[in-house]
Amino acid sequence: MRIDFVFSYWIFFWFILYKFKIIKYSPKFSLVVAFIENLILLGLMMNRNVSTSTILKFLFINTIIKIMPLYSLKNDTIHKEDICFTIMLFAIYITWLHINNTNIIENVTTIYNSLIYEKNTTSLFKLFDDYYLKN
């Protein structure tokens, strides 16, 4: 799956731009929502008896792209403008998917199937596997 088809990577990129003061809107709200979604997905993975290695990869990747950024923003206050920016960015993301002949349902299904059935087709999972399987 292409990296630009996963909204979590958009949020992480936003976080980087925010930390470098290129964007003034905090991604904290988005990271909180994404973290809650990941907790639900982790529960589904555990319920489906997904392998420990896949769960550990999931936890490692999400620690890097969500938990660490969220922790670094612990003192940020979520403002209405941050939520509005999240909605605007998500609308741009949906439009981007449409331009590329896909949609949010296909992407969520692909990500879900990649994790639950251990296909490891999302960008960072594939990169992780490629690196560690070669070494």
Is residue 63's pLDDT more than 90?
A: yes
| Angstrom distance (rounded) from CA 122 to CA 111 | 7
- SS3 string, 74-109, reads CCCCCCHHHHHHHHHHHHHHHHHHHHCCCCHHHHHH
Print the domain residue range for 21. 3-134
| Angstrom distance (rounded) from CA 104 to CA 6 | 9
Task: Give per-residue pLDDT as tens, 67-96.
Answer: 999 999 999 999 999 999 999 999 999 999
In the chain, how many domains are there? 1
Percent of the chain with pLDDT strictly greater than 70: 92
Mapped onto helix, strand or coil, the DSSP state of residue 120 is coil
Is residue 27's pLDDT more than 60?
A: yes
Residue linked to tokens 């709200």: 29
